[in-house]
Structure 1
Amino acid sequence: MKLGYGPAALAVGTMLVTGLFTGSALAVDLAIVSGAVGDDIKMLRSNLDRYEKETGNTVKIVEMPQSTTDQFGQYRLWLSAGNADIDVYRTDVIWAPQLANHLLDLTEAAKDVAGAHFPSIIESQTVDGKLVAIPMFTDAPALYYRKDLLEKYGAEPPKTWEELTATAQMVQDKEREAGNGDFHGFVFQGAAYEGLTCDALEWVKSHGGGQIVEADGTISINNPDAIKAINTAKSWIGTISPEGVLGYKEEDARGVWQTGSAAFMRNWPYAYSLSNSDDSAVKGKFDVAPLPSGGDGSAATLGGWNLAVSKYSKHPDEAIGLALFLASEESQKRRATELSRLPTIEALYDDPDVAAAQPIIPSWKEIFLNAVPRPSAPTKKDYNEVSKEFWTAVHDSLSGNGDTEANFKKLEAKLKRLKGSGWE
């Protein structure tokens, strides 16, 4: 008999193995839906191969577009229709309250392993007392910088956005004078999607402009500090950042950076290992630092991905076992060492193998612990609409489609109307 990974044995008394895995006599076919950047799908397939070998079950990957906004839209359509073809969903940290009604409660199945994860992440995936997703990896962005160029031109990693603006302009000017006409100072995620919400929240929060909607539900975005933050970013377009950055997502920014055509990049940890790959023009030439401050400290948006089981799955026990397998310490360690994905299991930050393979991960823990959550908790099921209104106002401002003051005044009015119907 092969080892299965479903928690059905909790009910029938079959012996648990390592607190996660249970006996199962019949192999089943499962499907997991996942978005990805970098080598995420390759790693997922590798872990699934291990799972299949140990269980006899088979798992198909349903790939999603890079945009998390597009992913969420498709997820909501499938789940609302009661789609039984998808068993496990890879979910963004902000989606738990919006999808909870369609997901199985993992509290009992994960009771022996939940305590190993950062409590704040477990809490973020708990809705009305039910654990609706088990953490897979966490995320917090940093500032990537060309240490070779900063040393060459006698500069230091910037600690403020003003310093970044000046240093990026200086390095860009000197590189272009040297014949590198396609060189840019700073690349980030400027397209109109969830990624811009993350970037812009960091600008606003670090300037003392709040978190769009505060924890108590107060709409705070229309204030002078927030407006100053966006206007600072607007000044980058066409100067230190290419105008095309207004269409950049994570992989677009990484593409420019990894070819050696940017001095600075804002991105997530996954880009670290890829930037050090053998075919990278910046291998060994860069480092990372906390994102700059606007005067109120550095702010990094809390990201991360989790594994949720559809309540419409035809094989719920096996699907829960698959989610637990992919969230296990062994699977997280592989993601950390090979892809520089930040673990949600705290002990892995002190693991010598992880530190040897990705020295940056232990130091990234400080960045992660100071990460800023998006306002999904206070806005509940309206979060996606709130975020869309926010990134639209920001993108309009960066693009010159109205000034920031007017755009944020309209944004505030729209958010008040949403709140008026109750954050649902």
Structure 2
Amino acid sequence: MKPSLISIAMCCLSAWAQADSLKISCGAVGQELTLCKQAVAQWSKKTGHEVQVVATPNDSNDRLALYQQILGSGSDKIDVLQIDVVWPGILASHLADLKPLTAGREQQHFAGIVANNTVGGRLVAMPWFTDAGLLYYRKDLLAKYRQAVPDTWAALTATARKIQDGERAAGNDKMWGYVWQGRAYEGLSCDALEWLVSHHGGTILDSSGKSAVNNPQAARALTMAAGWVGSISPKAVLNYGEEEARGVFQAGNAVFMRNWPYAWALAQKADSAVQGRVGVVALPKGGADGRHAATLGGWQLAVSRYAKNPRLAADLVLYLTSSEVQKQRALSASYNPTIGALYSDPDILRANPFIGELYHSMSNAVARPSAISGRRYNQLSNQFWNAVHDVLAGKSDAATALQQLDVSLKRMAPAGFRAGK
């Protein structure tokens, strides 16, 4: 994050700090901030305790930088933090152990996510919502051009080109075939990991923590993606995050979009240009011999170990991650619960027709190598997304970029990455 942004945020947090209230940071992608404020207000009404909701940067890298500065100084300016699924290992030393305060309620949640949030035997965060990458498509346009939903990346490329060209010839010069997250940030690591795994190109690190990116399948995957830029994807995709991609798709100017489940509810709103015309499926395979791959995402709620009232903060976390609140969030904004029982809830299934299938796809979702790289994950991911971005931007070919990345990762951890080191 730029120093000026951090300084502004720290200044605002200082102004908000009050000993007799809690401060919670929430994301603001899609409807996150609105829903957070609503649920916090419900808890405040029930308990009589004031809570101040702090908006933090949408960009996950900037948000992590802000958290690290605040926590690194031992500040109590934020009591409850919304943290990414890959941050427990990075921030664990600054987070409170919630296990003595949960009365076992973490057992209602997906065991894999609870395990992800447990560092050194300490439960440092509670699961709030979970994600997996999805392919959104325009049902009406596929029907108009008599095209099947693509099962492989090659089929997606061909279909996107056909419909894009047809729509432009009909007068929509803003139409693009495929939009996704191409900015050099964590979102690109998610997209690129899906490309690699779908081509059997590895998961950045192998199970022993050693670099596994330098292989022909990975190079083929990145070469494929680079071919989209300026062809079926705008050159501006190199600066797209989730919201930029959603903006283009929801305005009716893209055939396909890669995004997280939150985009479904927004696409169905009355002011959406594509309301009722969107379908959702698993992301394509790398080829006939490839596999469907979706990066596991999601966010957690953690309590700062510097909070003045950690028990009260933990009570807020347990309320916000409860079945009641997770159902509200699923119904109003298609945020995926971390409580398995909710995936068979008839109300949720009516509101989110694809969520039942998503339950099964999540069991096969690909985790980023954060568990094995521990505190060094952000450094590793930064190296990965920058290498991928160089390929997408035409600054390097895939084979060269991956070879250089392999050297860099080995230099960073000569014996391989190890969790917590």
Cα distance in 1 for residues equivalent to 2:143 and 2:83: 40
The offset of 1:110, in angstroms, is 1.9
Q: Output one character per residue of 1:396-417: Cα deviation in whole Å (capped at 9) or x when no partner.
A: 0000112111111111111001
Equivalent of residue 407 in structure 1, options 378, 386, 401: 401
The offset of 1:342, in angstroms, is 0.4
Per the alignment, residue 248 of structure 1 pairs with 240
Q: Which amino acid aligns with 2:162?
A: M
CA RMSD for the aligned pairs?
1.1
Q: How does 1:284-295 map to 2 (within 5 A)?
A: 284-295=276-287
Cα distance in 2 for residues equivalent to 1:342 and 1:213: 27
Equivalent of residue 307 in structure 1, options 282, 301, 312: 301
The offset of 1:165, in angstroms, is 0.4
Cα distance in 2 for residues equivalent to 1:374 and 1:66: 20
Whether 1:162 aligns to 2:162 is no
Q: Output one character per residue of 1:348-368: Cα deviation in whole Å (capped at 9) or x when no partner.
A: 001111112222222221222
> Percent of pairs identical after alignment?
48
- Number of aligned pairs? 398
TM-score normalised by length of structure 1:
0.92
The offset of 1:391, in angstroms, is 0.2
Q: Indicate conservation of the 8 Å contact 2:101/2:311, yes or no.
A: no
Equivalent of residue 174 in structure 1, options 162, 166, 176: 166
Per the alignment, residue 316 of structure 2 pairs with 322
SS of equivalent residue, structure 1 residue 91: strand
Q: How does 1:19-418 map to 2 (within 5 A)?
A: 28-295=20-287, 296-418=290-412
The offset of 1:141, in angstroms, is 1.4
The offset of 1:136, in angstroms, is 0.4
Q: Indicate conservation of the 8 Å contact 1:133/1:308, yes or no.
A: yes
The offset of 1:204, in angstroms, is 0.5
Cα distance in 2 for residues equivalent to 1:266 and 1:366: 19
Cα distance in 2 for residues equivalent to 1:376 and 1:353: 34
Q: Indicate conservation of the 8 Å contact 1:348/1:354, yes or no.
A: yes
Cα distance in 2 for residues equivalent to 1:111 and 1:392: 43
Q: Indicate conservation of the 8 Å contact 1:382/1:418, yes or no.
A: no
Is there any run of 5+ residues in structure 1 with no aligned partner, and where? Answer: 1-26
Q: Indicate conservation of the 8 Å contact 2:26/2:32, yes or no.
A: no
Q: Which amino acid aligns with 1:413?
A: V
TM-score normalised by length of structure 2:
0.93
Cα distance in 2 for residues equivalent to 1:214 and 1:75: 29
The offset of 1:125, in angstroms, is 0.4
SS of equivalent residue, structure 1 residue 192: coil
